[in-house]
Structure 1
Amino acid sequence: MDKASGVAEYPGVTDDELVLAIRTHVAGRGLPDPASADDVAAFERVVGHPMPELLRRMYLEVANGGFGPWEVASLTDTGDWFSDCADITMAYRGFADPDGLPPGIVPLMDRGCAMWTLIDFRTADGQLWDWDPNLCCMQHALAPLGQPLAQWLTDWVHGKAHEGPYPQRVLATADCRNQ
């Protein structure tokens, strides 16, 4: 257990420990109140997949956006925009064009300059992805990070989270003509 953050080092951290540590970590920051279960259910219908349980708990027990290294997008428009979008639904629909993200991959955190941290609703542990069209080209903008949400949040609480570019990101292949 890390005494400064009150959370065990990953992977031994429990969701209960992590939620409590993050509540403590963001206390006094003026974040929005937690989202409602109806808000979560409505977004799950938009995505067509259930929200990873830890992310659900973050929205329901901590705040409706604003937590994380660069502040994750709110589930609903809270008046506090944590990205260029009013809420995560607007961000998700913005990526949903025919050449957009695979279904179930959701923009989570806007890092500026068209870069996003994304979360995979198709995985129970909420595997993270990177969207960075500045590295090469649109064809190679999306890449898995091989990191679950719990590890990313634990790293953030410990002051070790990468805001991007991510060092573990899979880079474009050498035969990309746009490098």
Structure 2
Amino acid sequence: MFDAVVRRIAVGGYIDEVPASRLAPLRPAPPAAVAEAEELAGRSLPSLLRQLYLEVGNGGFGPGYGLLGLRDGHRTGGLDALTGLKGGVLTLCDWGCGISSELNLADGQIWGYDPNPAPDGVSCTFPQHMTIVDWFSKWVEGTLYQPWLVQDPTTGEWRGATDTEYAEMIEEAFGPSGPED
């Protein structure tokens, strides 16, 4: 997966929401920044994420507004991946409008956070049912969608949208060609 991510970055436009002309050169994270993150989290980063930070860039590539960096790395809205690191949950990226993707380092699962449609008393955090490898695989393939909190039409429960639901919502909003329509 590491090589696939590097190939995706090499073709340009390595942050989905930022024009290529505005992208800064990538600089790997210093080993001390990775060690600090692992110490704060109380556990090691997943090997793919660790390798990307150490060999590709201290954030600044990937979905949304880019993978958040560690100490002195890529920031979005004043946040880096260590901001709010608590209970072993690392914020991966900002999608805008308060939406983010997070990695639970204890079990390796990706969680979404979407505060926008949730009524009072409903958790804005929900499982995305993927690992960091799945997350980057979907980004490389162009099939990673931002986390989106929806109310299940059958049960009334709030949960993360499935890929199918997300695709249907995009088609309904923009037509069959998507947002470029």
TM-score by length of structure 2 reads: 0.68
State the match for 1:134 in structure 2: 116
Shift of the 16–157 alpha-carbon distance from structure 1 to 2, 3 Å rule, reads: closer
Q: Could you list the runs of 5+ residues in structure 2 that have no partner in the other structure?
A: 15-19, 159-181
State the match for 1:41 in structure 2: 35
- Counterpart-to-counterpart distance in 2, 1:113 and 1:141: 13
Aligned residues: 147
Per chain length, whose mean CA-contact separation is higher, i.e. which structure has more relative contact order (CA < 8 Å, sep 6+)? 1
Q: What is the deviation of 1:16?
A: 4.2
The yes-or-no answer on 1:74 pairing with 2:69 is yes
- Counterpart-to-counterpart distance in 1, 2:118 and 2:81: 26
The yes-or-no answer on 1:17 pairing with 2:12 is no
The yes-or-no answer on 1:55 pairing with 2:55 is no
Render the CA deviation track for 1:137-173: whole Å, top value 9, x for unaligned: 464111111111112212212222213327xx896x7
SS at match of 2:48: helix
State the match for 2:98 in structure 1: 114
- Counterpart-to-counterpart distance in 2, 1:35 and 1:76: 8
- Counterpart-to-counterpart distance in 2, 1:42 and 1:170: 39
Q: What is the deviation of 1:55?
A: 0.7
Q: What is the deviation of 1:22?
A: 4.1
Q: Could you list the runs of 5+ residues in structure 1 that have no partner in the other structure?
A: 1-14, 97-102
The yes-or-no answer on 1:174 pairing with 2:118 is no
